[in-house]
Structure 1
Amino acid sequence: MRARMSILSAGIRCELREVVLREKPVELIALSPKATVPVLQLAEGSIIDESLNIMLWALEKYDPENWLNPPNSSLNEALELVKKTETQLKPHLDRYKYPDRYIGVNKIEHRGKCTNFIKILEEKLSKIPYLFGKQACIADIAIFPFIRQFANTDLNWFEKSPYPHTQAWLTKLLNKTQFAIAMKKYTQWHASNVVTFFPE
């Protein structure tokens, strides 16, 4: 989602191959041994196989919304918060969202661990509308998909939770046109398919 939103913002058009991870095509495995998504193959053949790196690649080409220029901070500080999301939030989010995939996991305990990170966002967002100022930056776009997953795991609980600024911030980002376009569902790719482009 965040990679697609950055590609949209940068005005880049690319061929899209929608894959189902439980049916990984051999072409995906050949491109990237990790066989994770998203994977971006550039015109000269090189591979970018991390969503944050795809974001940076796209926005370094063209950044009309200044996502690489946080209003109240530096790009490095914004990326540091993104990294904390992936190390401090995501492991607990996975166990909260998919407790059956792990042995001896208490999902409510991991929800509590997630809220430790949510409190960091809430503190920042109680003072400014976005994580690093009056406008969204790469940190907002990179982090909000995780908060969306957290919220949707138990939406009733999240809507009643004491994090009104995080809730309002999430709503603003979910209402972005780029989000709606990025979330469009595509038919599973097969080698025989007609080429699909993103955006269409």
Structure 2
Amino acid sequence: MSPAILYSLQHCPYAMRARLGLLLAEQTVLLRAVSLKDKPPELLTSSPKGTVPVLVVDNTTVIDESLEIMLWALHQNDPHGLLHSDDHDALVDMLSVIHSADHVFKSALESYKAAKRYHRDDKLSQRQACEHFLQPLEQNLEQGFLFGARESLVDYALLPFIRQFSRVERQWFRQAPYPRLQQWLHGHLQSRRYAQAMQPYPLWLEQRRDYLFGAQAAK
């Protein structure tokens, strides 16, 4: 059985989420780096909406949502216990947090980024809208992780977006009243896993060459 194919964009937070999920599940895929300005026909054939990430499994199954790729990978193998499978209700609760991040927080984050980029007067209020989501996470980190005392899917599904938030006003974030969140983020960004997830690859259309990504690539 040949490895699945992952169409990815290096700095897209959703693609980052998918790559992290594959690494955490110790899965190996063939990575195809793409540019959304010049999308490969093979990507559009697999997923006509033309966004990344897209995972093609066995040339038949197409998964084109980042969270679904994480779940697919972790259902294959979950060596770190990120799904908390010993707790029947945990995954439902995790998905609720992630759903809120993907819809409420992400929407506020986009408005905050735009307010900063275009020097709008509502930057403070947009940042505060983001903080309504971050404040409970800061409190949760008293237990060690975003979802309690154990590392979970939530930590990695939210990581790319909290990273984005921290970069909108870097100086402000460094002195913001979120010491646990700052430490949590710093630890992830300095990790070997994050470095592996962010390794750049040549665009697939330029070489038509697939690159091993994941468990076997790290050996």
Q: Same fold by TM (over 0.5)?
A: yes
Q: Which has the higher strand share?
A: 2
Match of 1:50 in 2: 65
What is the RMSD of the two structures over their aligned residues, measured on CA atoms? 2.2
Q: Give deviations 1:66-122, integer Å, cap 9, x for gaps.
A: 0111888711111110111011100111122234899x8833321111111111211
Tell whether the 8 Å contact from 2:115 to 2:126 is kept in structure 1 after alignment. Answer: no
Match of 2:103 in 1: 87
Opposite residue 109 of structure 1, the aligned amino acid is: S
Residue among 150, 163, 167 paired with 1:135: 150
Tell me which stretches of 4 or more aligned residues in structure 1 moved more than 4 Å.
70-73, 99-102
**Percent of paired sites with the same residue:** 39
Where do 1:24-173 residues align within 5 Å?
24-69=39-84, 74-99=90-115, 106-125=122-141, 127-173=142-188
Opposite residue 4 of structure 1, the aligned amino acid is: R
Residue among 188, 192, 210 paired with 1:177: 192
- Residue 36 to residue 197, structure 1, CA distance change in 2 (3 Å): same
Tell whether the 8 Å contact from 1:71 to 1:135 is kept in structure 2 after alignment. Answer: no
Opposite residue 117 of structure 1, the aligned amino acid is: F
- TM-score norm. by structure 1 comes to 0.90
Q: Give deviations 1:111-149, integer Å, cap 9, x for gaps.
A: 111111111211212x21102233311011101211000
1:198 Cα offset (Å): 0.8
Tell whether the 8 Å contact from 2:140 to 2:148 is kept in structure 1 after alignment. Answer: no
Tell whether the 8 Å contact from 2:21 to 2:70 is kept in structure 1 after alignment. Answer: yes
The whole-number CA distance in structure 2 between the counterparts of 1:164 and 1:21 is: 36
- Residue 135 to residue 171, structure 1, CA distance change in 2 (3 Å): farther
User: Which range is displaced more, 65-74 or 21-30?
Assistant: 65-74
- TM-score norm. by structure 2 comes to 0.83
Q: Give deviations 1:42-85, integer Å, cap 9, x for gaps.
A: 01411000010000000000000001118887111111101110
Tell whether the 8 Å contact from 1:70 to 1:133 is kept in structure 2 after alignment. Answer: no
The whole-number CA distance in structure 2 between the counterparts of 1:34 and 1:107 is: 32
